[in-house]
Structure 1
Amino acid sequence: GGGAGSGHAVLARAHAEQESDPAAAARGAVRAAELFEGTGERLSAARAWLRAGTAHAGCGEKAAARTELARAAEVFGACGALGLHARAVREQRRLGVRAGRAAAQTDGRLSRREAEVAELVRQGFSNQRIAERLFLSPRTVETHVAHVFAKLGVSSRAAVAGRLAEVRGPES
């Protein structure tokens, strides 16, 4: 058969084969991605590309691993799947790929609330203090901080401050 149901079955098998037969896992994950793409399920296809990339890496096929991981990271970044994007980027880095900034960015523009959170991050506030100041839950602040990191293409609170300084230019 074909379609999403088959894609899930093929991907499940690839997950199961990852440790014992990474080459078979890679082939299966690529096939699952093809099935998901055929049904328009891009996020599921990206999950399959992530598995294919790690499986290719597991059997020493670095070029194929880089290709599949780049495809996965691109889709995760475009969909706002920040956790999965971060995982794909980590896997790319294990292969020596400098990745992360461009893949995670949308258009670089922050929402009003994200800009408020970014400014408080720049000032050195902890997530807890930001939550108290803006009357938000700490979890909501974590989400906003993750979005700020992704949109600005940074991976640390200090880098947020640097990026905001670049955008604003020299202060008068």
Structure 2
Amino acid sequence: GAAAVQADGAGAACLDAWAERAAEAASTVGLIEQSGHALLARGHALMGRELPAEAAACYEEARVLFGDASPAGARARELARSAGRMAERCEDDGLGELTLREREVAELAGEGLKTKDIAGRLRVSPRTVDVHLTHIYSKLGVNSRAALVRLMALAG
């Protein structure tokens, strides 16, 4: 699913390009249902690339193709809402420059968790958490864990 795609950004970019071409091809020859499924796949790839606003647009386009009454249309509507909420959170809290994983690390650090605890919670190495924290500090213009905790409290 989307989690597997998220693990490999290059793979997500390739999947995104493939799904975009598949949706265009299906649409060109009038295969509405296949076009909708390709748009869902593209939405998943865009979520894997941490582009929730673009994913929401794909999911919404798929919903229109499927129609609200169908199970696929209902699922597309659900995905569009979820991705849309995620996009709004990214824009509204001033943390929009962070990747989704960096945001997770920042939120856990903001709760006062230590590097080792964050690593355990996210199932990554402490070194990976440290790398994320370095990127977070740079992107948010802070230079310490304490400053990050204060910033996360303000972002709320």
TM-score by length of 1: 0.42
User: If each structure's helix is expressed as a fraction of its own residues, which one has the higher value?
Assistant: 2
TM-score by length of 2: 0.46
